[in-house]
């Protein structure tokens, strides 16, 4: 009988422990869910449009408008790595906000995507997020050598980093990343504080380009 009582007690303890573990797991999951306004810094992502257009020739962005760098997005980020996304409440853009957004983003589809996935997590509302994105783009000066080009040029990725840092003296060494798509320049990403001051990037943000020269395609 004592053995039976011991087994029953052990079973009850096991079930209780499992329940506590499940509760902790659920609580931890809740703590890591995306919450609007809960992030550490912004990642301003500027896309080199001619590279995008190499594989998206039918996109409205690629209809001979001669874009160089365009706003891909302003992304809330966590300093320890990762980012929030699609934060509730998922409020659609109003007609006025869509009009405002199209002064920043090159296509309606990109605007809608960036607002729903990233902008909702700013905690600023749509108009507030778009205002901050506008200011963020204005805070970064494009190097003269990388303004829309009529002929292709080649640079090592690190030289592109240095060009941006020379044009924007406040960017620290670990505050910018260059991303390539194969042998071509794809994006430049600059880390900004919530006040849009230049700052260091968080974990996981780094340059992603091959060694040696990378191609910067001309404008279309």
Which sequence positions are flagged as catalytic? 72, 114, 118
Torsion of CA 158, 200, 134, 36, to 10 degrees: 130
> Whole-angstrom distance between the N-terminal and C-terminal Cα of the chain?
86
DSSP state string for 152-202? -EEEEHHHHHHHHHHHSTT--TTSEEEEEETTEEEEEEEEE-TT--B----
Backbone φ, ψ for residue 210 (5° rounding): -70, 165
- C-alpha 200/C-alpha 72 separation (Å) is 20
Lookup: tokens for 52: 């995008």
């Amino acid at each position: 009988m004592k053995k039976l009582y011991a087994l029953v007690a052990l079973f009850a303890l096991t079930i209780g422990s499992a329940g506590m573990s499940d509760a902790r797991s659920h609580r931890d999951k809740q703590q890591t869910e995306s919450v609007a306004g809960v992030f550490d810094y912004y990642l301003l992502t500027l896309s080199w449009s001619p590279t995008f257009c190499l594989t998206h020739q039918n996109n409205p962005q690629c209809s001979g408008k001669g874009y160089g760098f365009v706003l891909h997005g302003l992304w809330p980020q966590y300093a320890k790595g990762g980012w929030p996304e699609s934060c509730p409440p998922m409020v659609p853009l109003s007609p006025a906000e869509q009009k405002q957004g199209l002064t920043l983003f090159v296509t309606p589809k990109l605007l809608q995507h960036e607002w729903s996935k990233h902008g909702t997590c700013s905690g600023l509302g749509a108009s507030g997020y778009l205002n901050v994105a506008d200011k963020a783009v204005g805070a970064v000066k494009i190097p003269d050598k990388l303004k829309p080009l009529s002929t292709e040029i080649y640079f090592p990725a690190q030289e592109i980093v240095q060009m941006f840092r020379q044009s924007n003296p406040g960017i620290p060494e670990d505050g910018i990343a260059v991303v390539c798509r194969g042998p071509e320049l794809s994006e430049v990403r600059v880390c900004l504080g919530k006040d849009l001051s230049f700052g260091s990037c968080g974990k996981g943000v780094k340059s992603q380009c091959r060694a040696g020269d990378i191609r910067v395609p001309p404008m279309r």
